[in-house]
Amino acid sequence: MKVLIVEDERPAANYLKKGLTEEGFAVDIASTVSDADDAIEIANYDVVLLDVMLPGGSGVELCREWRQRGIMVPVLFTTARDELKDRVAGLDAGGDDYLIKPYSFDELTARIRALLRRPRPAVAADISIGGHVLDMNRKRLLFNQTPVPLTAREYQLLEYLAINCGRLVSRTALWEHVWETGSEPDSNVVDVYIRYVRNKLGDDGKRIETVRGRGYVLNCVSNSHEPYL
Closest CA to 77 of 56, 67, 65, 62: 62
CB of 49 to Ca ion, least distance (A): 12
By C-beta, is 39 or 53 nearer to Ca ion?
53
CB of 79 to Ca ion, least distance (A): 9
CA 200, chain centre distance (Å): 24
> Which positions touch Ca ion (CB under 5 A)?
8, 51, 53
d(CA 63, CA 112): 17
* Side chain identity, residue 163: I
CB of 101 to Ca ion, least distance (A): 9
Bridge partner residues of 58 (DSSP): 53
Report helix, strand or coil for 175. helix
Alpha-carbon torsion angle 59, 68, 141, 35, nearest 10: 0
By C-beta, is 99 or 220 nearer to Ca ion?
99
By C-beta, is 62 or 125 nearer to Ca ion?
62
By C-beta, is 101 or 140 nearer to Ca ion?
101
Closest CA to 205 of 141, 145, 146: 141
CB of 51 to Ca ion, least distance (A): 4
